[in-house]
A and B are shown apart, each in its own frame.
Chain A
Amino acid sequence: MSSSIRRSLLAGERLWQRARFACKQAPTRIARDIFSWRFALLVLSSLIVVYPLLWVVSLAFSGQQSLTLVRLPEDAGIAQQLMVLIPLPEHWSLANFRAVLTEQPFLRWLGNSLIVAFATTIVGLSLSCTAAYAFSRFRFPGRARGMLLFLISQMFPAVLMLIPLYVIVVQWLGLGNSWLGLILVYSITALPFCVWMLKGYFDTLPFEIEESALLEGASRWTIFTRIILPLARPAIAVTGLFAFMTAWNEFILASIFMDEESRYTVPVGLRFFVSDYASEWGFFAAGSILVSLPVMLLFLWLQRFLVSGLSAGAVKG
């Protein structure tokens, strides 16, 4: 786990180096980039994306549980008044983070979540890659109906699945209070998207490679593992991220299935800060930021796969 984080950090470092290198190398290109419409669009949308998050960040670092309400200065210029609307804590403090990390076994929950989420990713991907490959490459009776079955599972409102899922996982399978139960449910929840998405990607891969491999006597399994999977790396990265997120942020099933605090996942732990009457939003914000860090590291690491695949890969044409 730590090595994957280190690797992600390295990836970030490398990106930064590359950026600096690029700065030195081609100032004119950068200038051209910066003054393009595309860049303006990206900056604008980044600002829109970041603004609400700034409230979360400033709440987390304020050391308080609720935000100071903005007071518009009466006779200031428009620019100054707008500046006031940028949320920044009055005093920066790490108190919230400290409390979140020390008052409860937060790191342990984070570790539990990592285990569950990675296992979900692996189980979900291996189930969905094989299924998607079959749906994409074979013609067999029940194929369309099978695809539809995956879709139907997403249509039934999750709120009403709670009790039946509890009955199956806890009562029938006896998997209450175990991660296995959670992993099973999460990976199957993620399956429909993964299967549909991967099937879509597999459809875009040219058939010619496979046909020539078949002619040379390669088995289906070899083709699948040696040709298709490497080619579909961008798709696998995307669906893997999705499966990871499915498990990472799920709260209600985890809190229902687990009967021991040391087995809670991190979303369950986070919800301790929110209750009917009083909620400790400062802790919740700090915890949310901590929870999002592994996701960002994972994404940094996955980014490399988003740029390779068929177009950059070895098998052109």
Chain B
Amino acid sequence: MIIAPICRSQLAGESVARSKPRCSPAGRLLQALLCLLIFFSGKVLAAETLNLWHGYRGAERAAFEQLIEDYNRSQSDVQVKALAVPFGGYADKLSAALPRGQGPDLFVFAHDRLGGWASAGHTVAPIDRYVGEHLLGRFPPNLIEAMTFGGELYGLPLAFKSPALILNTDLVQAAPATTDAMVAEARRHTDRKAGRFGLAYSYTEPFFHGALMNSFGRGPFDRGGNLDLANSANIASVEMLARWARQDRILPEEPSSTLVTSLFNQGRAAMVISGPWMLGEIAPGVNYRVVPLPVNSESGLPLAPWVAVEGLFLSPWSEHPAAAVAVMDYLTSRQSAEKMAIEGGQLPANISAFEHPSIATDETAMAFRRQLEATVPIPNLPAMTLLWVPLENVLKKVVKGAAQPEAEMRQLQRSLSADLARLERSRARGEHRAQMPAWLWLLPAALALAAWLLWRRYRAQLAAGWRTHRTAYLYILPAILGMLVLVLFPLLYGLLLSFTDTTVFNEHTPLWSRLIGLDNYAAILGDFHLWRGQGSERSLDFDNFYWTLLITILWTVSNVTLAVGLALILALALDKPIFGRAWFRLILILPWAIPNYITALVWKGMFHPQFGAINQGLQVLGMAPVAWFDSIGASFFTGLVTNVWLSIPFMMVVILGGLQSIPRELYEVARVEGAGRWFQFRTITLPLLKPVLIPAVILSVVWTFNMFNVIYLVSDGAPAGANDILITKAFRIGFEKYQYAYAAAYSMVILALLFCYAMWQMRVSRTLEATR
């Protein structure tokens, strides 16, 4: 707490209520005036406000906000205002706000994104100059290393989270010393038919596989930070996992954290590898003990899980960096750390807190503390972000026996190297900044000239048009204006972006030094590498654009056909009065009413190969269970069922509404004429429904084509990205590979495809001139 008083005295004079520069120039002017007023009236506002964002909830959050409140009360110069942001939107919120000079002064986030932020620029600021040796002495060196990128310190660690071994002490008493002992113990407790497993953890997630990978002594990157996946150590780690899953058969299939927790709570998993986050969910009756992970029998080194470090980061836009660092200092002090540990259940990065009597006697906390000695911080290199999903796909394939570890790792090394080389090229281009080409000045001038000429040429015509059709234009004006503002600009932005090679590394360079013309489009449309690998390794390349396009078209056609067909049948069934009609209607729209995030995940759970209701139902009926996420067809089916289930209610409501506009008399006449039901449907219902049905179909094609959630949540492109549709692929390219421009080009291709479809559809059905 040495820095705090200094900076306070520095800043006290100029303290002004800090409101971020989020408002328009006019707003800022007003603000300046206001400040002047305050200044002249001789009153200096008491405190400056620091905004702090975090993602905590529950007890952790209560303890954290209590700390902040204490801080605010302890002094009057700086008031910290905390905002909790839900995890799902946190990263997006930061990356939307920070590079644009908005957002908080400081924020709490996991450290593994640091490399990306630091490379992108304008997102985090180094804090070296505010931090003294004594402050760094609070933390173990590996946690400081996690906060460091490119030789600069970007934040202070607040807490750490790493997995350890959790034993169900009713089944396993002694902590296994080696992996061999652990596997032997696990085999004793495994009875697959009864759904019992010796060991359960999310083993296909790279975060968890890190424990094995690091224990062979290498890890995914070499000392220089270059990708080094296919070395013998990493391959050995994948082979070991494959052995556990396929020979020893001690692990459940398709693990997820929810499944692991459920198994453990029901005494069906003797040991699990999980972190502190799971402790709150262990059922009250279950006796457990946390111990550090065993030593790898093959390499003789301890299993070294990856540790995620929650750090306090500083915004480069903060007007009071020193005050912000003083808050960091306070939050990581021993006192605060003890409070966070005792009341919030956190594992504090300030390890002196573990000396506190009530923590030192807490066996669980101390076990994680001991585990910390053997952990490795998740590499915070930008390249790590690229690794998560492809490595997960590799692990999934290998544990299912669909691929050989060595070949698969080599393949992964090759494809990731190519992606990284792309990023590297963009960085290189960004470094020697080009002068703004002269023709770029001409472009707006030419556009303005063209606009002026067109205006001259068509002025009379336009004015006449306006005069004759003024009512019509007035009616549509508000809607069109809104559309233009909120849609045209994003579209232009996307279009412009797609002509550049923008990645995380050159985002901040001026636009003209990123322009590469049509290269992205050429790369997408000219992607004819349908196969990858040679000889026996040869397989379809699911990253290929045309494969993804094929899947997208199949996905859209099957979804829309099924949804519209079934919705039509249901709407017709509900159209005429029937006993309980109102109730049926209410029940049938339920899937629309309940947030689809949870229902999609319920469907995913129902498709679980071992514990899902669908496979269990099949088994009861004497059929063989299906491995839903292993084959392309089955995995496609899971997404299809979920999406149809989700979209029927909406379609049904639309059709129900449309059926109301059909005059009943027509049917009466038809009946009198002796027409059958089918004939009535074909000649009355369908044609009169068309004006409503066609737009609904067109729109639902567009929506299904871009249906991100269901694919992402249910099958997640399984197996190995084969079931990704264009939009999920664009998302992966943009957010998992940092190639923003390439993703934008993908989106423009999607737009062009849909546009062609819409033109074709409208030509076919002539809806625009429907009834006249």
Known A52-B645, A141-B469, A288-B598; contact A272-B86, beta-carbon cutoff 8 A: yes
Q: Is the CB of A160 within 8 A of B747?
A: yes
Render B542-575 as a binary contact track against A, CB cut-off 8 A, 1 for contact.
0000000000000000000000001001100110
Q: Which residues of B contact A316 (CB under 8 A)?
A: 663, 665
Q: Are B579 and A39 in contact (CB under 8 A)?
A: yes
Known: A22-B579, A155-B750, A255-B86. A203 touches B664 (CB 8 A): no
On whether the beta carbons of B88 and A203 are closer than 8 Å, the reply is no
Q: Which of B312-320, B513-521, B580-588 forms contacts with chain A?
A: B580-588
A302, B266: Cα distance in complex, Å: 45
Report which of B89, B195, B490 forms a contact with A256, defined as CB distance below 8 A.
Answer: B89
**Residues of chain A lying within 8 A (CB to CB) of residue B27:** 174
B734 interface residue, CB < 8 Å from A? Answer: yes
Q: Which residues of A contact B526 (CB under 8 A)?
A: none
User: Is A138 positioned at the interface, with any CB of B under 8 Å from its CB?
Assistant: yes
Residue interface bits B129-173, CB-to-A below 8 A is 1, else 0: 000000000000000000000000000000001000000000000
- A138 close to B660 (CB less than 8 A): no
Tell me whether A127 is interfacial, beta carbon within 8 Å.
yes
With beta carbons under 8 angstroms apart, the residue of A82, A149, A159 that contacts B727 is A159
Residue numbers in B under 8 Å from A39 (CB-CB): 578-579
Q: Does B39 contact A (CB under 8 A)?
A: no
Q: B390 an interface residue at 8 Å Cβ cutoff?
A: no
- A160 adjacent to B743 (CB under 8 Å): yes
B228-236, B294-302, B687-695 - the one binding chain A: B687-695
Chain A residues, CB < 8 A from B37: none
Residues of A within 8 A of B222 (CB): none
Given A69-B611, A193-B699, A300-B586; A249-B596 close (CB under 8 Å): yes
Residue from B566, B754, B767 within 8 A of A155 (CB atoms): B754
User: Are A130 and B587 interface neighbours, CB within 8 A?
Assistant: no
Closest to A53 in B: B590
Q: Count residues on chain A whose CB falls below 8 Å from chain B CBs.
A: 145
- The docked-state distance in angstroms from the alpha carbon of A231 to that of B598 is 38
- At the interface, yes or no: B262 with Cβ under 8 Å from chain A? yes
Identify which of residues 744-772 in chain B touch chain A, using a CB-to-CB cut-off of 8 Å. Answer: 744, 747, 750-751, 754-755, 758, 767-768, 770-771
Binds A, one of B323-331, B359-367, B413-421, B613-621: B613-621
Closest-by-CB residue of A relative to B484 is A149
Is B84 in the interface zone, CB < 8 Å from A?
A: yes
Whether A167 sits at the interface, judged by CB under 8 Å, is yes
B317 to chain A, nearest CB (A): 13
Given A30-B579, A130-B476, A200-B694, does the pair A163, B590 have CB atoms closer than 8 Å? no
Q: Dominant SS at the B interface?
A: helix
How far, in Å, is A160 (CB) from chain B's closest CB? Answer: 5
Contact A292 B88 (CB under 8 A): no
List the one stretch of B117-125, B393-401, B431-439, B700-708 in contact with chain A: B700-708
CB contact between B595 and one of A36, A140, A157, A291 (< 8 Å): that residue: A291
Q: From residue B758, how far is it (CB to closest CB) to chain A in Å?
A: 5
Q: Is the CB of A41 within 8 A of B569?
A: yes
CA distance A4 to B389 in the complex (A): 47
CB-CB under 8 A from B589, the residues of chain A are 296, 299
A residues in contact with B83, CB < 8 Å: 259-261
Stretch in B72-80, B93-101, B372-380, B533-541 touching the partner? B93-101
Alpha-carbon distance between A271 and B85 when the two chains are bound, in angstroms = 9
Q: Which residue of A lies closest to B734 (CB)?
A: A160
Q: How far is the CA of A115 from the CA of B753 in the complex (A)?
A: 37
Q: Quick one: which of B92, B569, B593 contacts A162, CB cutoff 8 A? A: B92
A158 beta carbon closer than 8 Å to chain B: yes
Q: Which of B3-11, B243-251, B349-357, B651-659 is the interface stretch?
A: B651-659
Q: Determine if A192 and B699 form an interchain contact, defined as CB atoms under 8 angstroms apart.
A: yes
Q: Using Cβ atoms and an 8 Å threshold, which residues of chain B touch A38?
A: 573, 578
A292 with B595: CB separation less than 8 A: yes
Chain B residue at smallest Cβ distance from A239: B657
Q: Is B12 at the interface (CB under 8 A from chain A)?
A: no
In the assembled complex, the Cα of A166 lies from the Cα of B89 at a distance in Å of 13
Q: Report which of A67, A140, A200 forms a contact with B472, defined as CB distance below 8 A.
A: A140
- A50 CB contacts on chain B under 8 angstroms: 587, 590
Contact in complex: A160, B602 (CB < 8 Å): no
Q: Contact: B695 with A49, CB < 8 Å?
A: no
- Return the contact of A279 from the options B51, B257, B602, B770 (Cβ within 8 A): B257
In the bound complex, do residue B262 and residue A66 qualify as a contact, i.e. CB atoms below 8 Å apart? Answer: yes
Is B241 an interface position by the 8 A CB rule? no
A159 touches B708 (CB 8 A): yes
CA gap between A19 and B490 in the complex, in Å: 51
* Complex contact B620–A151 (CB within 8 A): no
Interface code B241-276, partner A: CB below 8 Å = 1, 0 otherwise? 000000000000000011101110110100000010
- Mark A287-316 against chain B: 1 for CB-CB distance below 8 A, else 0: 011011001100110010011111100001
Q: Please report the C-alpha to C-alpha distance between residue A84 and residue B580 in the assembled complex, in whole angstroms.
A: 28
- Report yes or no: A149 in contact with B663, Cβ–Cβ below 8 A: no
Per-residue interface assignment for chain A, residues 257 to 280, with 1 indicating a CB less than 8 Å from any chain B CB and 0 otherwise: 001110000011111111111111
Chain B: residues with CB nearer than 8 A to chain A? 22-24, 27, 51, 55, 57-58, 83-90, 92-93, 96-97, 100, 102, 110, 161, 195, 257-259, 261-263, 265-266, 268, 275, 277-278, 280-281, 283, 465, 468-469, 471-473, 475-476, 478-480, 482-483, 485-487, 489-491, 493-494, 566, 569-570, 573-574, 578-580, 582-599, 601-603, 605-606, 611, 613, 616-617, 619-621, 645, 648-650, 653-654, 656-658, 660-665, 688, 691-696, 698-699, 702-703, 705-706, 708, 727, 730-731, 734-735, 743-744, 747, 750-751, 754-755, 758, 767-768, 770-771
Which 8 A-B pairs have CB atoms at the shortest separation, nearest pair first? A255-B89, A164-B490, A134-B475, A138-B472, A271-B86, A278-B277, A140-B469, A33-B579
**14 further contact pairs, Cβ within 8 A, besides A157-B731, A311-B660:** A50-B590, A51-B613, A56-B599, A70-B613, A131-B475, A134-B476, A156-B751, A168-B490, A172-B24, A188-B486, A188-B487, A192-B699, A268-B86, A274-B87
